[in-house]
Amino acid sequence: MSTQDLEKNIADLESSALSAIAKADSLENLEQVRLNLLGQKGELTGILRGLSALDKSERPRIGQLANVVKVKIEEAHEARKEALFQSHIDSKLKAEALDVTAPGRIRALGHVHPLSQIREEILSVFYSMGFEVADGPEIESDYYNFDALNTPASHPARDEQDTFYTNLGANVLLRSQTSTVQIRVMEKNPPPLRIVAPGRVYRNEEVNARKYPLFHQVEGLLIDKAVTFGQLKGTLTAFIQALFKKPLKTRFRPDFFPFTEPSAELDSQCPFCNGKGCKTCGGRGWLELLGCGMVDPNVLKGAGIDPEEWSGFAFGMGLERLAMLKYGVNDIRHFYTNDLRFLEQF
């Protein structure tokens, strides 16, 4: 083949190859075009192989010419391949389109009981103030439930009709208050003390929307040197504000409990209306939340703590009452019926 023919072939090949590459409409076609040109038996490969038959003087020039064409074809091929790949991906992605508003595939979570939730919230707040969690038996003696709490045998609270007595002995009952734990803790541990004690208590009361023969309390006790009534006010106000996550005002109303003196009922500014008055607080703007007071010297003495050296305060609150207020539950029996339609709301 003459040099001129060869040059023409190369030029023809360039234009036909570029047009074939441009026409390839799929990655498969493009690959076939590439093989036809650049494969082992490809046209350009054949031409390059034929160079050896040329005159030595012509070889570098034609060779360079062929190489330039080869690079051009390769570049065109790469560009075309890239474009085809992109459009392939695009159409594949399009085919994979989802209804993103359709629901997620879940395994339903369960729900923690509202009384557990409120108990945990209360304990966490007090834990952050340095109170330890303490525990005591529900089956108690009248000593811990009454005598040690400065409640003499003649006190109306000791009427048999209010307390459940057991077959374990004339003096063994189901505790009617978690205050029992105060005494057991004080007897076992030297002051200073800071404890909170959650637990179940029992009272012999007819079942209705507000009352159930068992319910739950959280009791607290702080004993230290120079504990004052002002510290009681400060601690419980901080607690209320942390529990409701609002800077609520509190009001301490004088009351009477046998085991604290002075005693108080703590009213919180209603967190639902910020004190303006609403259904929850009966329009009063205040909610009665817990009972508290300075530990009576008789109680300290009975537990072996010198009331001239130490002083302290105690408080107690009902979980059901707080949960009913917080969640707007109108019937205490919901807490023990365990209807999923109730539990799943929390």
Partner 1 sequence: MKVSLDWLNSDYVDLSDLSHEQVAEKLTMGAFEVEEVTVHGSDLEGPVVVGEILEIHQHPNADKIRLTRTRVKAGDEPLDIVCGAQNIEVGQIIPVALPGAKVVNRHDGSPLPIKASAIRGVKSNGMLCSAAELGIACDDKFGEGILVLADKDSPKKSGFTLGADARELLQIKPDHIMHVEPRSNRGDALCVAGLAREIAALFNRPLKQPTWNLEQYENKEAKVGTIYSVKLENEEDCPFFSLIPIKGVKVGPSIPEISKRLEAIGVRPVNNVVDITNYVMHELGQPLHAYDAAKLSGSSMGVRRARAGEKLTTLDEKVRELTPEVMLIVDDDTAIGVAGIMGGKDSEISDSTTDIYLEAACFSQAVVRRGSRLLGLSSDASLRFERRVDVASVFHAARRAAYLIAHYCGASGPAQVGKAMMAGSDKVSDVFLTLRLSAVKRLLDIEVTAERVRELLSPLGFKVEAGESGQLKIAVPSFRQADVTREIDLIEEICRLNGYDAIAATMPKGIVCRQAKDDTLVKAQGALVGMGLSEAWCSSLVPASENGINEDYLVQVLNPLSKDHQYLRQSLVPGLVHALAHNLDRGQKKVALFESGRVYFKDWEEPAPDNKSDNRQERSAKLFAKEINRLAAIICQADKQSSEKADFYTMKGVLENLLSGLAISLAADKVNWQAASVPGLHPFRCAALALNRPPKKGSDHSDKVGIFGNPMVLGYVGQIHPSYAHAMGIKEEAFVFEIDLDRIGAERKAAKFSEIANTPSMVRDLTIDFSKEVLEKQNDINHQNIVRLIMRSGSKNLVDVQLVSVYQSEGAAHTYRLTFQNPSETLTGEEVDNLVKEVKSQLTKQLNASFRA
**Interacting residues with partner 1 between 126 and 165 (CB under 8 A):** 127, 130-133, 137-144, 154-157, 159-161, 164-165
Q: Which residues bind Zn ion (CB under 5 A)?
A: 270, 272-273, 278, 280-281
Closest CA to 249 of 263, 266, 264, 229: 266
Binding of residue 194 to partner 1 (CB under 8 A): yes
Q: Is residue 242 near partner 1 by the rule CB under 8 A? A: no
Residue whose pair of structure tokens reads 């075009």 in the numeric block = 33
Nearest to 253 by CA among 261, 263, 244: 263
Residue appearing with tokens 């359709």: 102
DSSP string for residues in 8-66: HHHHHHHHHHHHHHHH--SHHHHHHHHHHHHSTT-HHHHHHHHGGGS-TTTHHHHHHHH
Residue 112's binding partner out of Zn ion, partner 1, none, with CB under 5 to 8 Å set by partner kind = partner 1
Interface residue with partner 1, options 177, 179, 237, 269 (CB under 8 A): 237
Q: CB of 47 within 8 A of CB of 9?
A: yes
Would you call 140 helix, strand, or coil by DSSP?
strand
Q: Which does 270 bind (CB under 5 to 8 A by kind): Zn ion, partner 1, none?
A: Zn ion
Among 7, 224, 242, 275, binds partner 1 (CB under 8 A): 224
Report what 151 binds from Zn ion, partner 1, none; CB cut-off 5-8 Å by kind. Answer: none
273 binds, among Zn ion, partner 1, none (CB under 5 to 8 A by kind): Zn ion
Least separation, in Å, of the C-beta of 327 and Zn ion? 15
Question: How many whole angstroms separate alpha carbon 233 and alpha carbon 231?
Answer: 5
Q: Identify which of 174, 157, 177, 156 has the alpha carbon closest to the alpha carbon of residue 165.
A: 174
Listed ranges 47-55, 79-87, 95-103, 107-115: which one lies at the site for partner 1 (CB under 8 A): 107-115
Q: Which of residues 248-307 bind partner 1 (CB under 8 A)?
A: 251-256, 261-265, 294, 296-297, 303-304
Considering the rule CB under 8 A, would residue 183 count as an interface residue with partner 1? yes
- Is the CB of residue 218 less than 8 Å from the CB of residue 123? yes
Of 56 and 279, nearer to Zn ion (C-beta) is: 279
The total number of residues shown for the chain amounts to 346
Residue 113 vs 284, nearer CB to Zn ion: 284
- 167 lies in the binding site for partner 1 (CB under 8 A): yes
